[in-house]
A and B are shown apart, each in its own frame.
Chain A
């Protein structure tokens, strides 16, 4: 009744396209449409959103969040909407498939090294990874295992919530799964929060250790 693996809807040139990829496209269209509409109708709501994300990221990283906000804010928006959109009928949540969280955490894995190299230069960054040389294997194991755990945490939370709802739906279809669906909204938003927080922590561990003071909440918004 309920497979672990996503169902293949159609194929393009022999590449199978699963239903989670289709729902990712729908989700991206919805996000872009809502953002464009908000920019036209109510720009203060967008500003509140950006300010919230800026404060959140810079509080965790303990430095100004300007270079990191495009990546981390997009991750937060994507994961949050992807977790919640599974409640819409006929749309499977993209994070229900293990491939989507794995791709997101690979992005975080690469971003850690890109930001670290950009801040410190290539050779000092590689030297900081192996500051005592005998800790280099532990560092490599830590980098790989935290990438895997980041993806599996998101996948496991969303997927277990869906399985519990499906089992309850098979037992008592009327009204009983409703509170759990409400709870799954909460879980989805909390997992987006945690995903973004952990990505910020991982990126800030790759940066040099000096701590410039956190400025007051003034993100550099572009004037439209």
Chain B
């Protein structure tokens, strides 16, 4: 690509963005803008969505296939990398736009499908494969028989503010962001708003931190602004590490400049001249996209010394975290930035008084930061119109688990949990919804009867649910709640930093008790069951101690899954303890196996594989399992071709 035209485009956009629109709104300018916004194109464009999630689905192979297709046929076609529109189950997604026609999007395009689809679309017809939809644009002719993307139920039920351009624009190019009025809010704020005014706007918008705590962002900023210091810091917390949560990664990878603008506005509001982005070094795609975006913003003069002649300086540095769950906690994150073990410190002093290197520091979550440009440009009133009486704005949720479509959605606060499940495409056929877990290892289970609960801060705190960061994992009846609680406790035990006793020892003991429940008793002595039952009683009190006395959010919220499971799934705990039975057949050690004599053909396959020689019998007649020898590994069930091995 020609570098010179790039720079002239950037300069053009910056001029356009930062001067009064009426002056420059000549037909010439409009034409150039529509060209950069790709509403008028001179040659076909192929878009391939590349994010950390689609790469795993094979998007890089698709991109290679597209490039080869264009190269082999020597076509004059532009290939553009985009982010994710949120439909993760449809990945790899490829869009094609030919001059005069709407941009059309295809799902699950693997290497083999590329040439079939391109052969069709480039010759003006939609090939047999089902497209996801097309992007509505009045300037273009629509494809017949293809739905508009914004009219699909998946998108119609959402309110996309943060995700507006995600998956549509090129995340590796600042021009794409500038063309849609990017950085305009920042430039205008530098001219027209004081630090305090910006804080007021955010305070007035009632924006609350989206990382899980729900602390009002405006008042946090004000505290930092009021603190007297020669240096202040702003930190963007992109260390998303809840298992099953991928919102922040997808926002950054799809629209990194939105985050840079959000950081710039936030840092300006608190008067910080240095900002850090803290993300995980393992998230390679995320790291690359941020690095590119920061570099481009510096080159365009939107970061650095004396930005746009305003006298304001801002440096943004990317810090690659070496990976620790506890570093999502703000004080631990600060410790890690200083090059220490990421252990939380006591609050107060709060980071807004004494944070990074002892200076006032504000730590905000990606999603909070991504909302800032919208609030400042549209005004707090517009933002406040979305959501419920006390919880304003939208919230992102990443939906995964036993659903038909794992996806990323943005809905107004106050949307019911049932709707979230619906957006995820519902439960796989023939299964029944068992529980919804909001917010990963620190969240709580929500049972089907509670699905109408609106997702907002006040209902959640009154119901004693944890909002968490927005990871929603949906479980059907094939999962065992005790096994899940054990999994999360194991995670917490691994990730506990070890500083305070309630969390370090509490999580270990809790895991031991849970393991005891899910283990086959060594003997059938009477005291054994009692012992296990006592464990559960301890479990509850232990959980309460942990919640009340742990130092940081990790320990305080760690018992949440357990407490909610004990509340709603008590019968399942009792079943595990008294009947030694796991109804979902997940707890391997509790399984017992039996051979169906009608189905068994005596093929000897199971007996050969049995690690403890617990299966005996003569070839060509039904076999038998010796229960005392069986360790419940389940290998016999796996190898049996006649489904003769039954587990109970």
Chain B binds chain A: no
